[in-house]
Structure 1
């Protein structure tokens, strides 16, 4: 298969980080870490109770710094280092495990826990400390920092760049995603329409599984290293 493949787009979701101990975004009850998604992952929730939202993300930010990349992250970092064609890892995850594993061609479409966004000057800053005390923005000095995370109702980052890469992809691979959250859930359909081969690596079939040319079921830490070894030949 790799002889005809030059350009690869990979989408990763919560399933790839779950094996590192990071909870998936929401369970069947629409909750995230026992909170209603509407309370902690929407602009309205932040406007209603900013201290609650800041504490929630402060806890997530602290927790993510205590976990480690797993075999799936490391395998994608190996692919990133050795693949001579175009490669883009688009992640829905807000952790930094791809980067800590060594991957460089990564795009965080939903933002990053280890980043703060200033609502005043709109600058982003690397951030590993709590935000609940309203620390000043390093850029403009305003006490207007918020988590640099895309909430429901907000536009994901760099969509033009993602669609441009999907247009040119020979292979689209989805890893550990539910296929339930748009616009990412629609990427497989876009990639197929542009002529890419499509592959799903997941614990179980996603909601959009019928759009994929091939589905492989299992743990990401098993499937991803196997697939990377296959694609690198």
Structure 2
């Protein structure tokens, strides 16, 4: 995107942010790509190279559990080395200024927390890949412990020492029920905001993609910043197809 186009987009975004008093941000993979986190759905992304492992298959099959952990540890370099990008830092700033009420994210990378966003202000719809939990008793396990057991047992997925249940990264897999508490919090935030900012989401995953619609119906202004068109562009008050970090940098330093 040309510098003049970035400037125009930033001015439009600045005008919205200047009036925002109770905003909500909804973030997808696009906000983290500049941080080195892969986009799962794009051509060449992880899901085009590996079929996602269904939740029921993970529970039922030791081989599937081992494959899931192999994939997670193969991604460790990207996740461990990632640092919050300009978009993350911009949202943390808006939150600190009281203009943003909360962040709803589809991401599992923990970069919002790393940017200084308190857990109380963050809704992780798809969980978090930076730690693991037992699916039966909910005991938390750190990834270093899981990896040590996995490697010591010749790539056998470890079971929970407390109850022998399967241990899984704390993410929501295909076929796994969405977390009820997170969905309720996201719904409440969406219904009460004055601006709903969609950042880097293709808006194809439901029911999560319904939150922008809910916010718009409740009277919020809808802003979508994404490199590719989304199915909700026609509903939005402002659509920007540009780099999230560049536009926010220019908008906040207007």
- TM-score bin, normalised by smaller chain: 0.7 to 0.9
State the partner residue of 2:153. none
Query: Is 1:109 the equivalent of 2:128?
Result: no
Residues 125, 107 of structure 1: alpha-carbon distance in 2 compared, 3 angstrom cutoff? farther
State the partner residue of 2:191. 167
Which secondary structure does the structure 2 equivalent of 1:78 belong to? helix
8 Å contact kept, 1:117–1:124: yes
My pick for the range that moved more, 180-189 or 166-175, is 180-189
State the partner residue of 2:20. 5
Query: Which residue among 223, 237, 243 is the counterpart of 1:213?
Result: 237
Which secondary structure does the structure 2 equivalent of 1:187 belong to? helix
Query: Which residue among 50, 57, 67 is the counterpart of 1:35?
Result: 50
Aligned length: 225
Residues 182, 64 of structure 1: alpha-carbon distance in 2 compared, 3 angstrom cutoff? same
The answer to which structure has the higher helix fraction is: 2
| Alignment RMSD (CA, Å) | 2.4
Consecutive unaligned residues of structure 2, counting only runs of 5 or more, are 1-15, 151-155
Residues 172, 118 of structure 1: alpha-carbon distance in 2 compared, 3 angstrom cutoff? same
**CA-to-aligned-CA distance 1:104-126 (integer Å, 9 cap, x gap):** 22221100011212122123445
8 Å contact kept, 1:179–1:208: yes
Deviation at 1:155, TM superposition (A): 2.7
**CA-to-aligned-CA distance 1:83-130 (integer Å, 9 cap, x gap):** x25511111010011111222222211000112121221234454552
Residues 205, 166 of structure 1: alpha-carbon distance in 2 compared, 3 angstrom cutoff? same
TM-score of the superposition, structure 2-length normalised? 0.79
Which secondary structure does the structure 1 equivalent of 2:32 belong to? helix
Which secondary structure does the structure 2 equivalent of 1:79 belong to? helix
State the partner residue of 2:208. 184
Deviation at 1:229, TM superposition (A): 4.9
**CA-to-aligned-CA distance 1:43-88 (integer Å, 9 cap, x gap):** 1342342111111122234430112221111111111222x25511
**CA-to-aligned-CA distance 1:180-209 (integer Å, 9 cap, x gap):** 111121111111111111101111321221
State the partner residue of 1:122. 138
Q: Using the alignment, how far apart are the partners of 1:2 and 1:67 within structure 2?
A: 27
